[in-house]
Amino acid sequence: MSYRILVIEDNPDMLENIASILELGHYEVLTSENGKRGIEIALKEKPDLILCDVMMPELDGYGVLHILGRNPSTSTIPFVFLTAMSDFSHIREGMMLGADDYLTKPFDDSELLSVIEMRIKKHEQIKSAFDRDIHSIEEFLSRAREVRGSRGISDQLQSRVIKKKNFIFMEGHEPLDLYYINSGLVKTYMMTEDGKELVTGIHGAGEFIGYLPLLENSSYNESAIVLEDTVVYMISKNDFNSLVYSNRMIATQFIKLLADNLFEVESRLLEMAYQSVRQRVASSLMKLFTKESDENGDCPLIRISRKDLSGIVGTATESLNRTLADFRDEHILELTEAGIKVLDKQKLMGVAH
Amino acid sequence: MSYRILVIEDNPDMLENIASILELGHYEVLTSENGKRGIEIALKEKPDLILCDVMMPELDGYGVLHILGRNPSTSTIPFVFLTAMSDFSHIREGMMLGADDYLTKPFDDSELLSVIEMRIKKHEQIKSAFDRDIHSIEEFLSRAREVRGSRGISDQLQSRVIKKKNFIFMEGHEPLDLYYINSGLVKTYMMTEDGKELVTGIHGAGEFIGYLPLLENSSYNESAIVLEDTVVYMISKNDFNSLVYSNRMIATQFIKLLADNLFEVESRLLEMAYQSVRQRVASSLMKLFTKESDENGDCPLIRISRKDLSGIVGTATESLNRTLADFRDEHILELTEAGIKVLDKQKLMGVAH
DNA sequence: CGCCCCGTTGACTGTTGTCAAAGCAGGTGG
DNA sequence: CCACCTGCTTTGACAACAGTCAACGGGGCG
């Protein structure tokens, strides 16, 4: 895409001349012979740069700059004005009104082109500075560290080692941090009032947990308990919020994350409503299988307690057990002490439907 | 918070003088007597503006500008340089390197202050242009129109009137638009393979539907069917995406929306897993009641077909019916032809638990 | 007028939760 | 080292909740 430049100049020859130079420089050129029309074009077309003569009848260049500067949609467009050589004070006046650069007549072609190129480049630079990409989690974390650092709190992200069976956070508590699992295994679950638990997720290394209440500004709706000794990084609520609200890339990343989640939970809801325990067990096993499986699509063993698995399926442990026994009898699974082994993936998928 | 200004000037008297003027103008001032140290300070402190002399031993002002311009974290800081009066070509050179303004020695206090004020203001303006707030849906829609308009597709948002029992979109299809319900009533639902439907939402005026697949970049996971004649505004996929990815406010709004949704769906999942049909019916009725109720907390009638209600609860129509009959016998509800009337809100909440 | 859809009720069946008990492994304290 | 306890798994028996099939009445619509 080529840049569009609006040229406002009352002298037709001059205008023609400038336009042809710019077109040779592969810019798209819009022209106006007076200030009023120039403003109209600027508002409608939002050019990438405006080049405007100062000395014009009716509305002069300062007037144009002044008016465009008041409108938010045009105030950020780079504005370069044209003035007569001798006129020092005119240059000063233009700059004081917020122009970005100037050109003194007479100027040669290369001068014109390099001034315009310079200002467009500078503007692009500023624009892109507001949405630097974040490509990796390390970058996210270091950005988080940056935010933290700029407040002088600490320039090191806090990490914590949490042992098996300990809680990272509990339902009903107020969230203070976002957690990033560096290593280990964590179960998140919700509880009914009579103590039955529904597992909302088994989270391993590289996952974030506990972001929902931060985004929702509410207390935890689930608890997180450690299944295998875990190392978490903590990003404080404030740091997280300023990151999400100030960094476009992080915001869209979290939108993706939430959308993914929502998608999954909704389909789980449908399953929960109308599928039998048998189907749900098969489906949950398939999910665990694919999650744990390596690049060859093989998963040696699914290691999970009956209680947790029943919590994922959303059924009583006994019911789960009977279903697993059924699957074993049908030679779909092998139940060993070490864990559950899938023998017939096809058949399992068939049951899950 | 006051703005922080870095002044780089080799003449101690001059430096002292400038610093004291700026401090009187309520700026925070950082100083350096040479270019190298100035760069160090700039990188570390990220001042809001840099004022730098051109003529300096060792590293001159152009060198400072050049180096700072190459570092993304300092390239967007407004840079004003100081030069000798006579020197036209020096000014030009500085501007070509991407400086934002200049001051010619000698200058008086007010000149200094107004140049600095001007450039800081301009920079703030540009900065804030990248995250203008959106306060209302009208603004959102007009912003959407703006995006659309700038591409010259159309400067009018497309609206469509859809009659009862017609689909807005269907499960499995590819999303082309985001829909905003201007008036009417829409049901969104998912289906199991054997034709049972789970209602994911009843949406009225002012709600967006169909954003999830747009954000997820997948096909619809639910269908939307019109319950009462509806007027929708359509925002094309492209417009929506560029809005979400370019406008911080819209991104955070959708984060909130998604987080809300997720919160709700998760608690629904818990209910679905372990609550009886009786409890789920009560809970669904409570939700409908509060959604439909006016500011006094009264809701005259819940008007919804048995089939849809059973779809919300996630049960067979017959089961729902029996439960409603039970509630009627317990004087919790009144079932009329016009709709369902809640007689005993407290008791209903008690059942829902 | 007939057809179809909706709401309602009855009868029946099967899935699934609950209670109970026993086996087994791992950890703890004497 | 052994006894004991606790927590997890497995199996059995049983009840009940909820889905399915069927039938009927009523109202709206062609």
When CB atoms are compared, the residue of A258, A267, A268 closest to B259 is A258
A80 shares its domain with A115: yes
For A138, A167, A311, B27, the CA distances from A181, given in Å and listed in that order, are: 13, 14, 22, 43
Cα B182 vs. chain centroid, distance in angstroms? Answer: 20
Q: Say what the pLDDT of residue B130 is.
A: 56
Q: Where are the beta strands (DSSP E) in B54-150?
A: 79-84, 101-105
Q: Say what the pLDDT of residue A275 is.
A: 94
Q: Say what the pLDDT of residue A153 is.
A: 37
Q: Say what the pLDDT of residue B174 is.
A: 95
Mean pLDDT, to the nearest integer, of B56-70?
91
Q: Say what the pLDDT of residue B141 is.
A: 66
* Contacts for A297 with CB less than 8 Å, ≥ 6 apart: none
- Chain B residues whose CB is inside 8 A of the A118 CB are 95-96, 98
- Chain B residues whose CB is inside 8 A of the A83 CB are none
Q: Closest nucleotide (CA of A320 to C1')?
A: C16
Both tokens assigned to A20 = 């042809």
Q: Is the CB of A291 under 7 A from strand D?
A: no
B194 vs A158, residue with greater confidence: B194
In this structure, chain B runs to a length of: 353
Largest CA distance in chain B: 98
B248 shares its domain with B289: no
**Among B243, B272, B301, which residue terminates a domain?**
B272
A155 shares its domain with A242: yes
A46 shares its domain with A169: no
Q: Do B353 and A193 touch (CB under 8 A)?
A: yes
Q: Do B100 and A100 touch (CB under 8 A)?
A: yes
Q: Is the Cα dihedral B192, B198, B202, B206 positive or negative?
A: negative
Q: Say what the pLDDT of residue B116 is.
A: 95
Q: For residue B106, is the peptide bond before it cis, meaning its omega torsion is within 30 degrees of 0?
A: yes
Q: Do B252 and A251 touch (CB under 8 A)?
A: yes
> Which single residue is written with the structure tokens 């009786």?
B278
B52: left (phi over 0), alpha (psi -120 to 50) or beta: beta
* Contacts for A308 with CB less than 8 Å, ≥ 6 apart: A187, A199, A202, A227
For A88, A134, B6, B80, B249, the CA distances from A96, given in Å and listed in that order, are: 13, 37, 20, 12, 32
**A291-295, A314-318, B163-167, B206-210: least confident range:** A291-295
Taking the CA atoms of residue B155, residue B161, residue B165 and residue B170 in that order, the dihedral angle to the nearest 10 degrees is -10
Q: Say what the pLDDT of residue B285 is.
A: 94
* Contacts for A214 with CB less than 8 Å, ≥ 6 apart: A175, A178, A237, A240, A241
User: Which residue, among A29, A88, A115, A162, has the nearest Cα to B86 in the 3D structure?
Assistant: A88
B267 shares its domain with B146: yes
Distance, in angstroms, between A279 CA and closest chain B CA?
A: 12
- Chain B residues whose CB is inside 8 A of the A252 CB are 244-245, 251
pLDDT tens, position by position, for chain A (353 residues)? 689 999 999 999 999 999 999 999 999 999 999 999 999 999 988 899 999 999 898 899 999 999 998 887 788 899 999 998 767 788 888 999 999 999 998 888 999 999 999 999 988 887 766 555 445 556 666 666 555 444 433 445 678 888 888 899 999 999 999 998 888 899 999 999 888 999 999 998 888 999 999 998 999 999 999 998 898 988 889 888 878 877 777 888 889 899 999 999 999 999 999 999 999 999 999 999 988 776 666 667 888 999 999 999 999 999 999 999 999 999 998 888 888 988 888 999 998 87
pLDDT at residue B284 greater than cutoff 90: yes
Cα B96 vs. chain centroid, distance in angstroms? Answer: 37
Protein-contacted bases of chain C (C-beta within 7 A): 6-11, 15-20
Q: Do B100 and A98 touch (CB under 8 A)?
A: no
Residues of chain A (187-216) having a beta carbon less than 7 angstroms from strand C: 196
B141 vs A43, residue with greater confidence: A43
Q: Closest nucleotide (CA of A325 to C1')?
A: D10
Structural domain of A10: 4-126
B172 shares its domain with B263: yes
For A182, A204, B90, B130, the CA distances from A23, given in Å and listed in that order, are: 55, 57, 29, 29
Distance in angstroms: CA B261, C1' C14: 35
Q: Say what the pLDDT of residue A218 is.
A: 94
B112 vs A293, residue with greater confidence: B112
Q: Is the CB of B305 under 7 A from strand C?
A: yes
Asked if B97 and B65 touch (Cβ cutoff 8 Å), the reply is yes
Question: Got the DSSP string for A297-338?
Answer: S----B---HHHHHHHHTS-HHHHHHHHHHHHHTTSEEE-SS
- pTM given for the model: 0.72
User: Which residue, among A302, A289, A301, has the nearest Cα to A345 in the 3D structure?
Assistant: A289
Cβ neighbours, 10 Å, residue B181: 22
Q: Say what the pLDDT of residue A149 is.
A: 46
Q: Closest nucleotide (CA of B325 to C1')?
A: C8
Q: For residue A47, is the peptide bond before it cis, meaning its omega torsion is within 30 degrees of 0?
A: no
B183 shares its domain with B284: no
Residue B137's pLDDT band (cuts 50, 70, 90): low
CA nearest to B129 within chain A: A72
- Chain A residues whose CB is inside 8 A of the B115 CB are 95-96
| Chains A–B, number of C-beta pairs less than 8 Å apart | 162
Both tokens assigned to A218 = 């509410």
DSSP assigned state of B330: T
Mean pLDDT, to the nearest integer, of B194-213?
92
Q: Give the CATH number for residue B281.
A: 1.10.10.10
When CB atoms are compared, the residue of A115, A215, A256 closest to B259 is A215
Q: Say what the pLDDT of residue B146 is.
A: 58
Q: Say what the pLDDT of residue B165 is.
A: 87
- Chain B residues whose CB is inside 8 A of the A272 CB are 269, 272-273, 314
**Among A245, A272, A299, which residue terminates a domain?**
A272
Q: Do B266 and A221 touch (CB under 8 A)?
A: yes
Asked if B38 and B6 touch (Cβ cutoff 8 Å), the reply is yes
B304: left (phi over 0), alpha (psi -120 to 50) or beta: beta
Cα B60 vs. chain centroid, distance in angstroms? Answer: 44
Q: Give the CATH number for residue A167.
A: 2.60.120.10
> Which single residue is written with the structure tokens 């009533």?
B185
**What's the total number of domains in chain A?**
3
Distance, in angstroms, between A98 CA and closest chain B CA?
A: 7
Q: Say what the pLDDT of residue B149 is.
A: 47
Q: Do A272 and B314 touch (CB under 8 A)?
A: yes
Backbone angles phi, psi at A219, to 5 degrees: -85, 170
Return d(Cα B169, Cα B176) in angstroms, integer: 10
**For B303-322, how does the pLDDT look when each residue is reduced to its tens digit (9 = 90+)?**
899 999 999 999 999 999 99
Q: Do A255 and B259 touch (CB under 8 A)?
A: no
Question: Got the DSSP string for B244-301?
Answer: HHH-HHHHHHHHHHHHHHHHHHHHHHHHHHHS-HHHHHHHHHHHHHHHH--TTS----
Q: Give the CATH number for residue A14.
A: 3.40.50.2300
Both tokens assigned to A322 = 């009977």
A268 shares its domain with A279: no
Asked if A341 and A300 touch (Cβ cutoff 8 Å), the reply is yes
Cβ neighbours, 10 Å, residue B5: 24
Q: Is the CB of A310 under 7 A from strand C?
A: no
B335 shares its domain with B266: no
Distance in angstroms: CA A287, C1' D7: 27
The residues pairing with B209 across neighbouring beta strands, listed in sequence order, are B179
Beta strand B177-191 with B167-169 is unpaired
Q: Say what the pLDDT of residue A144 is.
A: 62
Q: Is the CB of B114 under 7 A from strand D?
A: no
Distance, in angstroms, between A158 CA and closest chain B CA?
A: 23
Q: Is the CB of A279 under 7 A from strand D?
A: no
Return d(Cα A78, Cα A309) in angstroms, integer: 61
A311 shares its domain with A338: yes
Question: What is the separation, in whole angstroms, between the first and last Cα of chain B?
Answer: 50
Return d(Cα B141, Cα B162) in angstroms, integer: 20
Distance in angstroms: CA B20, C1' C2: 98
A196 shares its domain with A247: yes
**For B21-57, how does the pLDDT look when each residue is reduced to its tens digit (9 = 90+)?**
999 999 999 999 999 999 999 998 889 999 999 989 8
Cα angle for residues A120, A122, A124 (degrees, 5° grid): 70
User: Which residue, among A309, A293, A312, A311, has the nearest Cα to A301 in the 3D structure?
Assistant: A293
pLDDT at residue B187 greater than cutoff 90: yes
Q: Say what the pLDDT of residue A263 is.
A: 94
Q: Do A192 and B96 touch (CB under 8 A)?
A: no
**Among B218, B244, B272, which residue terminates a domain?**
B272
Q: Say what the pLDDT of residue B302 is.
A: 85
The residues pairing with B341 across neighbouring beta strands, listed in sequence order, are B334
Return d(Cα A286, Cα A271) in angstroms, integer: 14
When CB atoms are compared, the residue of B222, B248, B262 closest to A258 is B262
DSSP assigned state of B193: T
A99 shares its domain with A144: no
Q: Say what the pLDDT of residue A137 is.
A: 59
Asked if B338 and B301 touch (Cβ cutoff 8 Å), the reply is yes
pLDDT at residue B153 greater than cutoff 50: no
Residue B144's pLDDT band (cuts 50, 70, 90): low
Return d(Cα A287, Cα A269) in angstroms, integer: 15
When CB atoms are compared, the residue of B193, B212, B274 closest to A314 is B274
- Chain B residues whose CB is inside 8 A of the A268 CB are 269
For A234, A242, A258, B232, the CA distances from A238, given in Å and listed in that order, are: 12, 6, 20, 38
Distance in angstroms: CA A181, C1' C28: 33
Q: Say what the pLDDT of residue A6 is.
A: 96
